[in-house]
Every structure is written in C-alpha cells, then in structure tokens.
Amino acid sequence: MPVHAIEGRYKTKEMYALFTEEYKLQKWLDVEVALIKAHVKLGNVPASALPVVEKNATTKIVKIERVQEIEDKIHHDVMAMVKGFAEKCGDEVGTFLHLGATSYDIVDTAWTLILKDAFAILEKRVVELLRILVDYATKYRDFVCVGRTHGQHAIPTTFGMKFANWADEFSRHLDRLQQIKVWDLVGKFGGAVGTFASHGKNGLKLQDLVMDALGLKANLISTQVVARDRYAEMIYWTALVGSTIAKVAKEMRDLQRNEIAEMFEPFEKEQVGSSTMASKRNPHKSERLCGVYRIIASHVIPMLEDNALIEHERDLTNSSVERIVLPENFILLDYMLTQFISILKGAEINEQNVTRNLDLTKGAIMSEDIMIELVKLGLNRQDVHEILRQVAIRCRDEDISFRKGIEEDDRIKGKISSKELDRIFDPKNYIGLAPQLVDRVVQDVKARWLK
C-alpha cells in the first residue's frame, strides 16, 4: 500500500510518470548514448559501438530491478546503471560506456531532460488556466461588486477586475518560466571538478556534441555539478505559482462563506460536505490547495541551502534533498493546477448576492466619492474626511443609511444636490477604469499566450 499521499491522491499520471525511477533510468541511458555519439564523432570510440549502445539503451533491456540489485552491493546508483548497461552491451562495447564522465555529468544533464519535460506540462496547464481566467474577466468586465481591503468593504470594483488581476499574475509566471528555460535548463559534461581534464583539448566540443544530441544548452562553467542557484530558482518558481493558486483559492473560500455567498467552488450531486452536518457545503477543494501549497513553499529553503552549503567543488548534501523536493514540487504543483482548473470551470457566482452585498454598509462604500465631490466644491479635504468619518460612526451606531447621515449633517447637508447624490450612491458610477483595465489584461494575455 502507498505511504506518501502523492501516491494515492495528489498527482496526475502525466507528471508522476516523469519522476519514477524507470523514467530517471531511461534519461540516464539517453545521456550515456549521447556521450557515446560524441565520442564516435571525435574518433575516441569505434563507430561499431554506437548501434549496440543505442539498441540496449532502454529500460526494457536495462531493467531497473537489475540496476537496484547492483546498487545494493556497490552503494553507487550511477555506477550501478553503468554496470547494468555494460552487461547488456557486452565487454567489447561496455568498456566505452561513461568514458571520461563523472556521475553528475549524467545526473545533472538527465535532471534537465526531466525538468524540461515537467515544465512543458506545467506551461500547458498555466495556459489553459489563463484561457479560463480571461473568459471570466471578459464575462464579468462590467459586473459591479464591492471591493474589500483588510477584509472590510472598501469601494466598488468589478468581478472582472478580480479575474483580470489573477490572469495578469499567471501571465507573469509564464514570463518567468521563459527566462528559466533559458537560464536554468542546462546540461554539463566537464568531468570530476568541471575542468574537462578527462576529455582533453576537445572537451568543450564533446560537451557541445552531447548537448546537441539531447536538445539542450550547455552550461557555461561548473564544478562537478551545475550550480544549485538554478535549481533554487526553479523550485522558487513552483512555490510562486503555488502561492497564486492558494491566494485565489483563499479568496474563493472567503467568498463562499455563508455571510458573503458570492462565489462557490463546484459541489457535485452526491458530494458530502460534513459527516454530521448534512447541510454543509464545505469548500474542501480550495482548502486542499491552500494546504498543498504549504508543502511546496516549505521546500524553497532546502533548495537555497543546497546552493549555499555545497562544499568546495561538490559534496553529496544536495542529492538527498533533490530526490525529495524535485519530484514533490513538480508533482504537487501539477496537481494543484489541474484541480484549480477544474474548480474554476465549475465555479458558481451568485450574481444576486454580489449585488446584495454592495449595500451591506448602506452606502458607506461611497464615502470616497462624496469626499472628492465636496473638495471640488471648495471644502478642505482633511476637514471633509473627518466629517465623513464622524458621519459613518453615527450611521453605524444608529443603523441608518450613509445617505441619510449626509443629508442630516449640518456641516455638509445641501452642498450636494439630491440628483447628484442619486448618481453618487449608484455603485456602478464609481468603478473608475475597471472595464478598460480588464480589457488591457485580456488583450495582453490573448496576444502573448492564447494565440
């Protein structure tokens, strides 16, 4: 039976497959093949070796079970792969395997191949998510709702502004990812301490040939390992994307509260909210996303320390961390994205409640507009602010509307006409440039990501 929650719950098959031991072994074999190809082109290995190596470089032949059996004896995973591979290639060809390489020439280059595949999946998910957010932003471009700051009613905004802000944030995540693909998805083949000593004068040429065969960019310089600032940045990116998902999920949880009841995550026909309170509709999917995010975020520090604490040209302290953090963060983020997409696709927005909530403060959300109008009429801004603050307190204490409080206050009554107060106390007249701002985001996202 599974032990880790990823095994049974928090994964997609597509991403999970990239981090299995079998997939990792296959990528190690792919790198070894690329190395043989480079040696053949440079005349270091006979051309007759290549077909043998290519034929056997598959986990259907080099079995993971055999590699693990060898590792149990020699306590070195990469060398176990080399030995298991050599067994299948025969002594004559096997002698050329891993020629001039160090373990992390294979491991780091293979990690890049795996992470390249993983980022391709995540990028696809974020683009799908952007399409949904843009659709919502467009639909609710002009739909007025109350804006909230510090959990309190502020001034009107539109529901489209919410979705446009989220879309813009995910768009920036894609921008960051494009840079990560340039900066961080690199391979290396510099040998034991990065000097290429084992490859002689053709070391850089050999590295270029290996990378060309694998479709990767070569690292400019390294020690025995690719510098872990790259890995830290990639993990930070997963945490940053996760934080945006968690932020939106938290917003949905808050908006689903009975007292607000504006936006709900989907609730299936036979779904149960509580084991004892049958009436409940708990936002458990959104809560789960907020919880999973905490795990993803917690892995940023270990990866930063991988970069800071590697000794000299390398030690092994990064390896154990990466075996845990890289699979977990990519698998969990992919799960978060797929769940988030599903939640948004089925989300329910109660437009009646959104409109109802605009008047919960009985017009007090229009205090800023009133202040600006009074200043236009020649009153001192600071004096007006204090008057309106006192009016708001009176209205709350006496449970009267803010308009009534304005109309009855001797310091300002009569200064704004009844017709003008009608305009002011209609929230749709105080949404500023919200619709145009939504349009700007929608146009930008469509032009760059949704072609």
Query: Which residues belong to the active site?
Result: 150, 274
Neighbours of 369 (CB within 10 A): 17
- Three-state DSSP state, 224: coil
Retrieve residue 92's tokens.
């004559």
CA distance 43 to 40: 5
CA distance 411 to 337: 55
CA distance 239 to 332: 10
CA distance 342 to 249: 12
CA distance 248 to 221: 40
Cα 388 to chain centroid distance, Å, stands at 43
Instruction: Calculate helix-pair angle for 103-139, 21-41, nearest 10 degrees.
Output: 120
The structure tokens 């077909």 sit at: 51
Classify burial at 352, counting beta carbons within 10 Å of its beta carbon; exposed 0-12, middle 13-18, buried 19 or more.
Answer: exposed
Which residues on neighbouring strands pair with residue 364, listed in sequence order?
A: none
Q: Is the Cβ–Cβ distance between 89 and 168 less than 8 Å?
A: no
- Across 125-159, b (16+ Cβ under 10 Å) vs e yields bbebbbebbbebbeebbebbbbbbeeeebebbbbb
CA distance 248 to 355: 21
The structure tokens 């084991």 sit at: 275
Query: Where is 291: in which H helix or E strand?
Result: helix 284-298
Retrieve residue 133's tokens.
């957010």
Q: Is the Cβ–Cβ distance between 324 and 288 less than 8 Å?
A: no
CA distance 330 to 6: 11
Classify burial at 319, counting beta carbons within 10 Å of its beta carbon; exposed 0-12, middle 13-18, buried 19 or more.
Answer: middle
